[in-house]
């Protein structure tokens, strides 16, 4: 059953995590944490998301707080380094926070930047990390993406190009034109039918995120229904949310690619003392926030109230199976 609203709010901690660099246009990441009987859950739907979309994130938080975790098949999960849309000169500094990472995901197609900026950033990463993937967050048309794919692979390969275009039809058209593998992210997590992109033959790899899909169980169910490799990624989560992503990745029958679960390195402070990756991997296991950090990182009262109001708006939208 879905927990009562009052019970959720009694267990709520809202924190504001400072970031090292601007990411998704923000320098402070707010999340609401729920201390439940089975562990900790995280509700961190981005601020612009309306209640129908944000409710999936609340369902994932409830799962983490109230339901036992699935059986895991591996104790560690390989992760990629995450390189925001920084100048090429800053790439080395960013990568230093991901010791041992053999794969890096590079943000491209940032508003206000050029393809030349993207190429310089990708090449700077390529000089330091053997496997490079790029993420455009749906920022290109098919024509722009085709040109970008050629430019970004002129000096070396890409493991894949993540969400180069916004729509499934565009991804399918682009996939027929380029040799670079295409990964789908937003086309899965923002779709009414998350399997449509796979049925359309529009992607070679599925990027799945626990929170936007509604929880670990939903992610694993989707992964079981598709015949392309899965990369489990984070949604700019705190250490609590990252732990659920690691659990999902560790529970997959097969894991062919490094996962996008290294975004904790983008924060200067988190709710626990986050260990650095070892040999490019993070350990799998539950996370219990440090009470002193919860207090120190607590969001101002008006922001806590904003999250309470948001939970009140999302709670009635939860289906019985999500709680």
Give catalytic residue positions. 107, 209
Tokens for 203?
């992607």
Work out whether strand 205-209 and strand 161-162 pair parallel, antiparallel, or are unpaired.
unpaired
With contact defined as beta carbons under 8 Å apart, do 1 and 320 qualify? Answer: yes
Question: Whole-angstrom Cα distance, residue 220 to residue 31?
Answer: 24
Q: Is 192 annotated as a binding residue?
A: no
- Which residues lie closer than 8 Å to 108 by C-beta, 6 or more apart? 85, 118, 121, 122, 134, 135, 136, 139, 148, 152
Buried b (16+ CB within 10 A) or exposed e, 130-154: ebbbbbbbbbbebebbbebbeebbe
Question: Whole-angstrom Cα distance, residue 317 to residue 58?
Answer: 10
Residue 66 C-alpha from the chain's centroid: 22
Q: Is 10 annotated as a binding residue?
A: no
Determine the number of helices (DSSP H) and then strands (DSSP E) in the chain.
13, 12
HSE-up of 128 (CA within 13 Å, CB side)?
Answer: 24
Q: Is 162 annotated as a binding residue?
A: yes
Residue ranges at the known binding site for Mg(2+): 135, 162, 185
Residues annotated in a binding site: 135, 162, 185
């Amino acid at each position: 059953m879905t927990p009562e609203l009052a019970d959720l709010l009694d267990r709520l901690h809202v924190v504001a995590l400072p970031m090292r660099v601007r990411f998704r246009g923000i320098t402070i990441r707010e999340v609401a944490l729920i201390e439940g009987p089975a562990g900790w859950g995280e509700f961190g739907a981005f601020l612009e998301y309306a209640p129908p979309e944000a409710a999936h994130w609340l369902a994932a938080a409830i799962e983490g707080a109230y339901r036992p975790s699935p059986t895991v098949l591996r104790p560690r999960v390989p992760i990629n380094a995450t390189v925001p849309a920084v100048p090429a000169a800053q790439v080395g500094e960013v990568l230093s926070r991901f010791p041992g990472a053999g794969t890096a995901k590079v943000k491209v197609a940032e508003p206000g930047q050029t393809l030349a900026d993207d190429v310089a950033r990708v090449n700077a990463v390529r000089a330091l990390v053997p496997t490079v993937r790029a993420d455009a967050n749906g920022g290109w048309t098919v024509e722009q993406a085709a040109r970008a794919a050629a430019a970004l692979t002129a000096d070396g390969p890409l493991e894949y190009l993540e969400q180069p275009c916004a729509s499934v039809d565009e991804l399918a058209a682009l996939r027929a034109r380029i040799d670079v593998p295409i990964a789908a992210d937003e086309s899965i997590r923002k779709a009414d039918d998350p399997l449509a992109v796979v049925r359309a033959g529009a992607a070679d790899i599925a990027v799945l995120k626990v929170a936007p899909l509604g929880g670990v169980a939903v992610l694993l169910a989707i992964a079981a229904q598709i015949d392309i490799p899965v990369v489990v990624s984070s949604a700019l989560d705190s250490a609590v949310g990252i732990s659920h992503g690691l659990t999902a990745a560790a529970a997959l029958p097969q894991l062919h690619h490094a996962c996008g679960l290294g975004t904790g390195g983008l924060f200067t402070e988190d709710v626990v003392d986050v260990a650095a990756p070892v040999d490019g991997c993070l350990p799998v296991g539950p996370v219990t926030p440090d009470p002193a950090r919860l207090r120190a990182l607590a969001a101002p009262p008006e922001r806590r109230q904003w999250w309470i109001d948001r939970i009140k708006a999302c709670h009635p939208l939860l289906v019985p199976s999500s709680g």
